[in-house]
Amino acid sequence: MNKQAAHRPTEALPILPGKAAAPTFVELYTPKIVTVLREGYGLASFRADVVAGLTVAIVALPLSMAIAIASGVTPDRGLYTAIVGGLFVSLLGGSRFQVGGPAGAFIVLVAQTVQNHGIDGVILATMMAGVFLIAAGFLRLGTYVKFIPYPVTVGFTAGIAVIIFASQIKDLLGLTLSGHEPAAFLPKLAALSGVIGTINPSAVVLAGGTIVVMVVLRTLRPSWPGILIGVVIATLAASLLGLSVDTIGSRFGGIPESIPAPSLPVFSLQKMQAVLPDAIAFALLGSIESLLSAVVADGMTGRRHRSNCELVGQGVANMASALFGGICVTGLIARTATNIRAGARSPVSGIMHSVSVLLFILIAAPLASYVPLCTLAAVLVVVAWTMAEKQEFATLVRSSWGDAAVLLSTFLLTVFRDLTEGIVVGFALGAMLFIHRMASTTAIESLAPLAEDDKADGASSERIPYDPALATDPDVIVYRISGAFFFGTTSTIGAVLDEIPSGHKGLVIDFAAVPLLDSSAANVIARVAAKARQRGIRVILTGTSHQVRRELLIHGARPPVVRYRRDIAGAVDEIKRQAALTASAAA
């Protein structure tokens, strides 16, 4: 294990001499698929990747069409995005398990861009966003995306979930609007409430049945493709019973049986200026979503992604998607997690996911014409319910007034104003909150000198002998965190703590020199502790102040996942005693 040398804000024990050479430019931007091939890629890995890719494609097929329809474009554009964008995310990205495609988080932005600038504006904004992402990657801005506070992430994700749900009410209930459906949240609800009398009972039954099937299968048979099964059952029911509901075929005329030839979008300087704010919003949200997904994948697998290489890959994927008439591409947390659980070994699984979706278009595209739109609306309602981090939302509201203010400001602005505005305001409030907390924790003792004088070693009876076991113990690893532990340092400290070998019996993290800990940091500690416990590593936190411990407990770092002790020595002794008892019992 590579243990980091002493530095601010993190100090790690044990400390090893020497410093690893900085990686070269080529090493930083080498796609993960190249790394995998260099390590050695055999037939067994390919078989696992084919199965995982097919599994993800089964999930991606209905979702890609549903997201495209909800975004105000035709369903085939969602499939083109999954095929072309997903292919380049896997080919050029910096994450081993990332799966790319159209995302529910983009529904609001894409729908607004379609309404303001048409489909040509969406394609042009997507291509421009790709250029911005490539530039951000080469400027190494991927590191700074990790500085977004945790309440901001939870707030805008919950806001997007609410907007997605609102966007599906019309098709979910089979409502009929005489004019165009408003994009803004409150006008949309007002327009839909005015036509509630046009509700279609058949659509409601099909949508409700689809939701029930997905929820039941997720509970009883989580390994089964609940989304696809729900859509297939609803489609068969609508066709066999002759139900009068809108389908993909009746509204869009079906799905083409091929993908279009690549072509540049229609653009001019005036058009580029008009869609520039949308392109920036696409790039900002795409970078956040893709890097969040890569972090989730790291947590599930123990691997580490390269954020700047990932941004470059995402940029190329967006440009390629635009060339084939697709919409925005990003890494997808749900599909990436499905990919890992299905046994993926490498980015080849993401490539096979794209190939599987392409084969569907080439072979079975006419079947998509029979899919009821109320069923796809039901799929997105379940997606919205899942992506709204309800437990995390409630925890942050209860944790402190500051976190609650950042969370609710981001959430409300995302719902009622604009996603980009919500993120920017939330980040600014988070930074102000951090400054306030730092000011509150700063104090000078009236009797203490500003510079402490040297002291004699004292009598031998007063000195505590140096214990090299703290630095070399094979069973216990000790880390001391020094300084403010907040959203700006979580990625660095989290990366160190994630690299704990399985051979250790215990992990001790000392907080004696931590004056401040925010919700982002507490969430990282809770995640690291839960992961260590799954590997049989006992985690003890020492030296926590009342305020630090309160924040940790609120965010899940509580017994039996972690234990709290006064000092490092007591924690190490406890772990050693427990290890000895376990060994004697086994003998």
Task: Print pLDDT tens along the chain (587 aa).
Answer: 334 333 334 344 333 334 456 678 888 899 999 988 888 888 989 999 998 898 888 888 888 988 898 888 999 999 999 999 999 999 999 999 999 999 887 888 898 899 899 999 999 999 999 999 999 999 988 877 767 788 888 898 888 889 889 888 999 999 988 877 787 788 888 999 988 989 999 999 999 999 999 999 988 988 788 888 999 999 999 999 988 898 988 888 878 888 899 998 888 899 999 999 999 999 988 998 888 888 778 767 767 888 899 999 999 999 999 999 999 999 988 788 888 888 888 999 999 999 999 998 898 888 888 989 999 899 889 888 888 888 889 988 888 888 899 999 999 998 888 777 888 898 888 888 877 766 655 443 333 343 444 454 455 445 455 455 555 566 788 888 877 787 666 766 676 666 666 667 888 888 988 888 888 888 888 888 888 888 888 899 998 988 889 889 888 888 988 999 988 888 888 888 887 777 777 66
- 18 located within any domain: no
- 4 located within any domain: no
- 334 located within any domain: no
| CA–CA gap between residue 377 and residue 227 (Å, rounded) | 12
Considering the domain architecture, whether residues 415 and 481 belong to the same structural domain is answered as no
Q: What pLDDT is recorded for position 117?
A: 92
The answer to whether the beta carbons of residues 386 and 248 sit under 8 Å apart is no
Considering the domain architecture, whether residues 247 and 380 belong to the same structural domain is answered as yes
Considering the domain architecture, whether residues 149 and 78 belong to the same structural domain is answered as yes
Closest by alpha carbon to 576, among 495, 497, 470?
470
- 222 located within any domain: yes
- 424 located within any domain: yes
* 390 CB-near residues (< 8 Å, 6+ apart): 158
357, 375, 394 - which closes a domain: 394
Task: Please tell me the pTM assigned to this model.
Answer: 0.72
Which domain range does residue 515 map to? 470-586
Considering the domain architecture, whether residues 529 and 549 belong to the same structural domain is answered as yes
By three-state DSSP, how is residue 563 classified?
A: strand
Considering the domain architecture, whether residues 111 and 142 belong to the same structural domain is answered as yes
Considering the domain architecture, whether residues 319 and 206 belong to the same structural domain is answered as yes
Considering the domain architecture, whether residues 379 and 427 belong to the same structural domain is answered as no
| CA–CA gap between residue 493 and residue 471 (Å, rounded) | 19
φ, ψ at 478 (rounded to 5°): -120, 130
Considering the domain architecture, whether residues 377 and 408 belong to the same structural domain is answered as no
Q: What pLDDT is recorded for position 445?
A: 38
Considering the domain architecture, whether residues 275 and 296 belong to the same structural domain is answered as yes
358, 379, 394 - which closes a domain: 394
Omega of the bond prior to 75 within 30 degrees of 0, cis? no
Q: What pLDDT is recorded for position 535?
A: 80
- 477 located within any domain: yes
Considering the domain architecture, whether residues 389 and 401 belong to the same structural domain is answered as no
* 329 CB-near residues (< 8 Å, 6+ apart): 81, 85, 86, 88, 89, 100, 101, 102, 126, 286, 314, 317, 318, 321
Structure tokens at 34: 């190249």
- 82 located within any domain: yes
What is the identity of the amino acid at 561? V
Considering the domain architecture, whether residues 389 and 400 belong to the same structural domain is answered as no
CATH number of the domain that 492 lies in?
3.30.750.24
* 442 CB-near residues (< 8 Å, 6+ apart): none
What distance, in Å, lies between the first and last C-alpha atoms of the chain? 29
Q: What pLDDT is recorded for position 444?
A: 39
Specify the number of domains making up the chain.
3
- 542 located within any domain: yes
Considering the domain architecture, whether residues 209 and 74 belong to the same structural domain is answered as yes
